């Protein structure tokens, strides 16, 4: 067992050394540039309402990024261990959704940004906490998890899969919050009274305190985020942790509710689904691109790391990571379109999603109006994947062609139409 900078055990290396990207890489240098600039910010206060958190060194500052392909880049205090706190919430939400399904979970907790602080006493008209990212909602979400190996062990094991290594509880922080977290107990009892919290409040609250006290590094945050970014498969270990749909649900609640009462401003200026924690961490998951982790303990009034917010604003801007940026024009899905005699020969390529399929079917439909064409042949040899939406659009167009008397044949040696 090795020990991180603050003496907390970290149970083995965070990621496979082989995946560690070169420190001299331009990506690391760019991260370092942002870190140096943002380090000059000295506002904010270290959280002390959980007494143990008050010991954090305000100057500690690390940034990590993990690409969708699993390469990691870390600068600053990358090996420093700190506790997840609220960053655990989207992951435990994912555990609950995976186990119970989306509708069952949202029978107990809403999905609307509360516009209020993380510890607000905020229940909607149905008695549900407003969303799973505020404390009340997160305690309810934790209470829903079952897991065969015991609730907390199940949570720890899935969160460890997200990080790609076994995470351990910082017992001092856990005890410190368990001794003082009476407001969270109160939120638990209110949710019990509202009929949405399952089972003994104290057990749910204890497991919530434990999940908040899981010890991580910025590198872990970036790996966890990257796992959500790429749809639920940890890009470092290659292991599927949750379904693609569950990953999308977690990203959605992070996007709308992850930054508490700063969610709107965050969407405008950063636009990366994110979750912050009072220990000073922020995790951000840019879909299909990068997982990011930042740690710096001084917090703004909303409870978000001051340097973390500034660093992510810069990262989003400099590297075009806003989720609502205009996507690049994708390559044409048509490798070639030729006509030989009465046959239109269409060879497709690459990943065919709904937009690409729309291009293809509109081209195929022209064959119906073209008197010279009596048959079409569609070749899928070069197609690496068809989305469900694309598959059904293509099937519908083939039926149209047949109905119009155009003979259609499909060659699909890789079986992408069946996948």
Q: Which residues bind ligand GLN (CB under 6 A)?
A: 85-86, 118-119, 135, 177, 184, 212, 277-278, 303
Which of 28, 67, 72, 86 is catalytic? The answer is 86
- Please check if 116 is assigned to a binding site: no
Residue number, 114 or 184, with CB nearest to ligand GLN: 184
Q: At what angle do helices 182-193 and 201-212 cross, to 10 degrees?
A: 130
- Please check if 73 is assigned to a binding site: no
Residue number, 83 or 237, with CB nearest to ligand GLN: 83
Please say if 97 is a catalytic residue. no
Please say if 86 is a catalytic residue. yes
Please say if 278 is a catalytic residue. yes
C-beta separation of 213 from 221 below 8 A:
no
C-beta separation of 116 from 97 below 8 A:
no
Q: Are strands 281-286 and 274-276 parallel, antiparallel or unpaired?
A: antiparallel
C-beta separation of 369 from 336 below 8 A:
no
Q: How far is CA 141 from the centre of its chain?
A: 17
**Residue 20 DSSP class:** B
Residue number, 118 or 162, with CB nearest to ligand GLN: 118
Is residue 131 left, alpha or beta, with left meaning phi > 0 and alpha meaning psi from -120 to 50?
beta
C-beta separation of 105 from 197 below 8 A:
no
- Please check if 177 is assigned to a binding site: yes
DSSP E strands in 258-374: the ranges are 274-276, 281-286, 290-295, 334-340, 343-352
Q: How far is CA 27 from CA 57, 133, 170, 327, in A?
A: 27, 31, 32, 21
Residue number, 120 or 365, with CB nearest to ligand GLN: 120
- Please check if 260 is assigned to a binding site: yes
Which of 160, 260, 270, 306 is catalytic? The answer is 260
- Please check if 92 is assigned to a binding site: no
Residue number, 90 or 287, with CB nearest to ligand GLN: 90
Please say if 174 is a catalytic residue. no
- Please check if 196 is assigned to a binding site: no
Please say if 319 is a catalytic residue. no
C-beta separation of 50 from 181 below 8 A:
yes
User: Closest approach of Cβ 264 to ligand GLN, in Å?
Assistant: 18
Q: Which residues are annotated as a binding site?
A: 86, 135, 177, 184, 208, 260, 278
Q: Which residues are annotated as a binding site for substrate?
A: 86, 135, 177, 184, 208, 260, 278
Active site residues: 86, 89, 208, 260, 278
């Amino acid at each position: 067992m090795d020990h991180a900078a603050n003496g907390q055990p970290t149970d083995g290396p965070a990621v496979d050394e082989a995946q560690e990207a070169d420190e001299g890489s331009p990506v690391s240098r760019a991260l370092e540039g942002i870190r140096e600039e943002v380090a000059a910010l000295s506002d904010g206060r270290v959280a002390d309402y959980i007494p143990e958190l008050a010991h954090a060194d305000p100057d500690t500052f690390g940034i990590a990024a993990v690409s969708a392909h699993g390469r990691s880049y870390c600068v600053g205090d990358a090996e420093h261990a700190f506790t997840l706190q609220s960053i655990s919430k989207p992951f435990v939400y994912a555990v609950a959704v995976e186990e119970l399904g989306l509708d069952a979970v949202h029978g107990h907790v809403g999905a609307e940004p509360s516009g209020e602080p993380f510890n607000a006493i905020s229940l909607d008209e149905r008695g549900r906490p407003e969303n799973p990212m505020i404390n009340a909602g997160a305690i309810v979400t934790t209470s829903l998890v079952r897991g065969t190996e015991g609730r907390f062990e199940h949570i720890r094991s899935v969160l460890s899969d997200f990080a790609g290594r076994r995470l351990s509880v910082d017992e001092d922080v856990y005890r410190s919050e368990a001794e003082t977290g009476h407001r969270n107990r109160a939120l638990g009892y209110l949710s019990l009274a509202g009929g949405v919290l399952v089972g003994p409040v104290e057990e749910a609250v204890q497991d919530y305190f434990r999940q908040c006290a899981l010890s991580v590094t910025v590198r872990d945050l970036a790996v966890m985020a990257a796992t959500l970014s790429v749809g639920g498969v940890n890009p470092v270990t290659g292991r599927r942790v949750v379904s693609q749909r569950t990953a999308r649900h977690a990203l959605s609640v992070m996007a709308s509710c992850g930054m508490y009462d700063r969610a709107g401003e965050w969407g405008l200026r950063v636009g990366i689904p994110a979750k912050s924690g009072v220990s000073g961490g922020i995790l951000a998951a840019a879909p299909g691109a990068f997982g990011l982790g930042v740690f710096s303990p001084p917090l703004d009034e909303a409870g978000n790391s001051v340097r973390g917010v500034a660093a992510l604003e810069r990262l989003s801007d400099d590297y075009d990571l806003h989720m609502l940026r205009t996507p690049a024009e994708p390559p044409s899905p048509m490798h070639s379109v030729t006509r030989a005699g009465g046959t239109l020969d269409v060879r497709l390529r690459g990943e065919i999603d709904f937009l690409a399929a729309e291009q293809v079917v509109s081209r195929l439909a022209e064959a119906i109006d073209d008197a010279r064409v009596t048959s079409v042949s569609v070749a899928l040899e070069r197609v690496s994947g068809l989305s469900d939406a694309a598959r059904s659009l293509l099937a519908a167009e083939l039926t149209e062609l047949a109905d119009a008397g155009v003979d259609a044949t499909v060659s699909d040696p890789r079986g992408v139409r069946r996948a």
